[in-house]
Amino acid sequence: MRLAKARTTSMESDRLLKYCCFNLSNDHQAISRHTQLKAIGSTLRFVNSCMHRNSRHESYAYFLAYNQAIFQEVFRYDFDSHIRPPHFNGYAFPIISALAEQGIHGSIPLVIGDNISYWPEHVFAKTRPSREGNVSLLRLQPVKHWTGLDRIARHDVPITGKSDTCIFRGATTGFFWDNSYGISTSARCRLMHAYGNLASKAKRNSIDIGFTGITPRMKHANKDICEMASRMLKDRMAMEQILSHKYILCPEGNDISTGLKAILASTSIPIMPAPTVESWLLEFDLVPWKHYAPVMDDFSNLLKVLEQLRSDQELQRYIAESGREYILSFLNDDVERSLNSHILLSYSGKGSRA
């Protein structure tokens, strides 16, 4: 990989190598089922090519979105409404800015949305299911994912001053229906079933799990799942309220657990299965019992994990401090923007300098 000449620390260089995956071969065999739908026998056809111009810098960038049929058939999205300007801008503007700063004109193959797929050709994305393949990571949607974390890290109260409750609040994101695409049900669906099995024990073990919204995808779920999700609806909580609890469940949604970054920045303890998707946070580098408390994929050992945490205050402090130390290395905005630019520069053989 050819990196830009700007100086980087050894830690930053290590991160660059993890973010970048410039394997441009087309013989990747581990393409997921919903990519195979349109990729068999040919390269994926990207049907939504968007050109944006930043007039101040006179710089152009091209952005390629998911195949429309894949959105409709698998993700159940209405394509036109999903790629709406506010959503799109969170992906486009960080790249336009980076290209403009470096004076690069070029074509950038960018996946817009929550990516959990392998791709037969190299793409950039916000998330990926593996470091093996053709997906390189960029720091996208920075306002949504990275704003305010430094404030949490500075001002959160010690863990000893927090409620002993284990809590979850979030929407029914992920896959909640039986399907023929080979996609497993989401972590949140598995958490819902586990909570149903724990219902009689949850209250006395101070477990508070609730969904704050039913996503449109739920209309494709069976009646029992819809009814269970409806029974678990609870009011939204501000992040400050959620962080007043010691133990916070972080099941993945459509891709990552968005709230995980805030929880790592706090003195609370994330509880979650091992990550199956990673983003700019490099979730695959998180170490169980160091950065988070691990539970089984079906959450069946949640009570046992809580018992272990509650009986060991030194372990609580260790996980809380380790998580905060991990997230702090991502919170220098100048460094993160520089890394984004380095990645695009290393790919700049695809474009031309101004």
Q: Do the strands 163-171 and 135-137 form a parallel or antiparallel pair, or are they unpaired?
A: unpaired
For 48, the token pair is: 């939504």
Angle, helices 333-346/10-19, rounded to nearest 10 degrees: 50
Mean pLDDT of 19-32: 46
For 300, the token pair is: 């069946």
DSSP 29-89: ----HHHHHHHTTS------EEEEEETTTTEEEEEEPPPHHHIIIII---HHHHS-HHHHH
Picking from 179, 188, 91, the residue whose alpha carbon sits closest to that of residue 142 is 91
DSSP 195-206: HHHHHHHHTTTT
Mean pLDDT of 199-212: 84
| Model confidence at 241: pLDDT above 90 | yes
pTM exceeds 0.85:
no
CA distances (Å), origin 252, targets 1, 46, 135, 302: 31, 27, 19, 16
Q: Percentage of residues in the chain with pLDDT exceeding 70?
A: 71
Summarize the chain as % helix, strand, coil (round to 5): 40, 15, 40
The Cα–Cα gap between 131 and 262 comes to 24
In this prediction, residue 117 has a pLDDT band, given cuts at 50, 70 and 90, of confident
CATH number 3.40.50.2000 is the correct assignment for the domain at 149-328: yes
The pLDDT, as a whole number, for residue 348 is 61
Q: What are phi and psi of 22, to 5 degrees?
A: -95, 55
Q: Which residue has the higher pLDDT, 239 or 176?
A: 239
The Cα–Cα gap between 191 and 272 comes to 10
Q: Where in the chain is the domain with CATH 3.40.50.2000?
A: 149-328
CB 264 within 8 A of CB 282: no
pLDDT digits over 132-161, tens only? Answer: 888 899 998 888 899 999 999 888 999 999
For 307, the token pair is: 């018992």
CB 150 within 8 A of CB 232: no
The Cα–Cα gap between 240 and 191 comes to 23
